[in-house]
Amino acid sequence: MKYIITGGPCTGKTTMIDELRKKKFECVLEAPRIIIEHEQKKKKGVLPWTDLKKFQKYVIREQLRLERTIKKTPVFLDRGLPDVLGYSNLANINLGDKILHRIKKANYTKVFFLEQLDIFHTDDVRKESKEEADKIHEAIFEAYENLGFEIIKVPSLPVKERVEFILEKIGMPKVPSKKVK
C-alpha cells in the first residue's frame, strides 16, 4: 500500500516523512528536492526556475526510480506523480498522456493532503514566495481531485498529532505510551 503525503511548499511533508521514518515505516523521499540538490551542483543544471518542463521530466524519471526501490508496505511517499501534474498545470505545461498512464499504473492507495501551516520559509531548494506557494498548494490539490483520488485533508497540527491522524486513517492501531514509574 502506497500512501502519498503531499501539499504545497512548506506544509510539513518532509517533517512528516522524517517522523514516520523514526517509527520504522518505509518512506520515499521527495524527488524534486533530490533533483534540485543534484542539479544545483552543476554549472548549468536543470532547475524549476530555469527550465520547468525539462525539470518536471527529470522529476517523473526520479519518482519512478524511487518507487521501484520500495521493498515493503505500507510505504509513505513525500509527493507522488500527480504533484508533477499540479506544478505543470499551474505553469501551462503539457506533459502528454503518458504521465496519466504512469499515474494509473502507480497504484497509489490514499492521498494525505497537508493543510498549510502558520509558518512559511524558503531555502536553497524552495524559493517560492508565500503567494506562489499558495497557488501551488491549490494546483496540487486540484490535480489529485481531478484524477479522482481519495484525498484526506490533514489539519495543521503538531507533527506527532499529524502522524497519529494519518496512522489512524490507514487503520494502524495507536500504540499506547508506556508510563514510567
Amino acid in position 109: T
The Cα 86–Cα 143 span in angstroms is 5
Q: Is 80 exposed, middle or buried (0-12, 13-18, 19+ CB in 10 A)?
A: buried
- Containing 60, the helix (H) or strand (E) segment is helix 52-68
Residues 61, 47, 98, 133, CA torsion sign? positive
CATH 3.40.50.300 is the classification of domain 2-169 = yes
pLDDT for 176 beyond 50: no
Domain map of the chain by residue range? Answer: 2-169
Give the mean model confidence (pLDDT) for residues 56-63: 96
Give the mean model confidence (pLDDT) for residues 163-175: 86
Residues 94, 49, 86, 54, CA torsion sign? positive
To the question of pTM greater than 0.85 for the whole model, the response is yes
Average pLDDT score, the chain:
90
User: What does the pLDDT look like over 62-101, one tens digit per residue?
Assistant: 999 999 999 888 999 999 999 999 999 999 999 989 999 9
At 128 the pLDDT is 78
pLDDT for 41 beyond 60: yes
Which band of pLDDT confidence, cut at 50, 70 and 90, is reported for residue 123?
low
Beta bridge partners of 4: 77, 111
